[in-house]
Amino acid sequence: MKRKIIPGEIPTSDLHQYLLGSVSPRPIAFVSTIDENGNHNLAPYSFFNAFSSNPPIVVFSSNRKVSDNTTKDTLHNIKLNKECVISAVSHSIMRQMALSSVAFPAGESEFEHTGLTPVPSDTVSVPGVAESPVNMECKVKDIVTLGEHGGAGHLIICEVQIMHIDEDVIVDNRIDPHKIDLVGRMGRSFYVRASGDAILTLYQNVGADPIGYNALPEIAKKSNILSGNDIGELAALEVMPTEAELQIAKDTIKEFSDEVEINCINLIREGKTNEALALLIVANEL
């Protein structure tokens, strides 16, 4: 049974947390800006992602506070000069990133409050975060206001002018996720570290011609033992089992039982998905 959440029928603060807990983990934009007096500002935003490579576009949202409907210094500064630098948040600076979210008085630099180092940019007047593994110098193309009440966002659409990436995190002209060691935001005070065992490898050839779910035997479709991932592995096969594989399956099982599905799961884990499907096909006919 699922709980039904209807916007407008619950407090915005509760809806906000349901959204954050559901749409996660989210990358964090560590956004630096500058005000009319030359003061530096630095703030984290987890309503953030990349949306285009040509032109290179990243978007983050600076939301109105739910509690009092006020907006942040970041939005004021970006409206003023249409520039920002977005820096990546690695595990080594996550505590300083969190500290920068404190509502310090306008005009006071979060760089100074957190001990992070401003590094000059090449194409904008705003500095990046020296300790970050990636800095993206951006010109703001547009600001889309989504509402006027507390919790409403302002989509800040940024075109990347230049990226600065630490050589230490690049392997074969690609960023190594284990080396960049990024942190993502979950709901409330929860974060996730995207390194080590948290990184999963899953390759899917988008040009493949898979057999698909409909080609699977009924016992696979109705199984309470096979997981969605197991079903996905079976459906992603590009060829049905060979006659030889089916014959081996016929020699292996004489009746259907839960043990057959457990054996299939083990075969899938071993990368022998064709053999697993052969067992299911034969079992389906018993």
Q: Where are the domains of the chain?
A: 12-198, 213-284
Per-residue pLDDT, 259: 92
Long-range pairs, 245-250, Cβ under 8 A, ≥24: 245/274, 245/275, 245/278, 246/278, 246/281, 246/282, 248/275, 248/278, 249/275, 249/278, 249/279, 249/281, 249/282, 249/283, 250/282
User: Does residue 97 contact residue 89 with C-beta atoms inside 8 Å?
Assistant: yes
User: Per-residue pLDDT averaged across 4-33, rounded?
Assistant: 96
What is the DSSP secondary structure assignment for residue 280, as one 8-state letter? Answer: H
* Percent of the chain surpassing pLDDT 70: 100
Query: Which pLDDT tens digit goes with each residue over 39-66?
Result: 999 999 999 999 999 999 999 999 998 8
Per-residue pLDDT, 1: 95
How far apart CA 190 and CA 247 sit, in angstroms, is: 51
Q: Which residue has the tokens 């600001």?
A: 143
How far apart CA 94 and CA 208 sit, in angstroms, is: 40
With a cut of 90, say whether residue 255 has pLDDT above it.
no
Query: Which pLDDT tens digit goes with each residue over 133-152?
Result: 999 999 999 999 999 999 99
Please provide the average confidence, as pLDDT, over all residues in the chain: 96
Query: Which pLDDT tens digit goes with each residue over 265-280?
Result: 999 999 999 999 999 9
How far apart CA 189 and CA 83 sit, in angstroms, is: 29
Break the chain down into helix, strand, coil percent, rounded to 5.
35, 25, 45
User: Per-residue pLDDT averaged across 191-218, rounded?
Assistant: 95
* Percent of the chain surpassing pLDDT 90: 94
- Structure tokens belonging to residue 110: 């979060």
What is the pLDDT confidence band of residue 254, given thresholds at 50, 70 and 90? confident
How far apart CA 124 and CA 163 sit, in angstroms, is: 12
142-156, 215-229, 241-255 — which is least confidently predicted?
241-255
Q: 121, 120, 118, 161: which is closest to 138 by C-alpha?
A: 161
The CATH number, out of the four listed (2.40.160.40, 2.30.110.10, 3.30.70.1430, 3.30.750.24), of the domain defined by the range 12-198? 2.30.110.10
CA distances from 92 to 66, 75, 182, 193, 252 (A): 30, 27, 9, 10, 53
Per-residue pLDDT, 169: 98
Amino acid occupying residue 7: P
How far apart CA 233 and CA 265 sit, in angstroms, is: 10
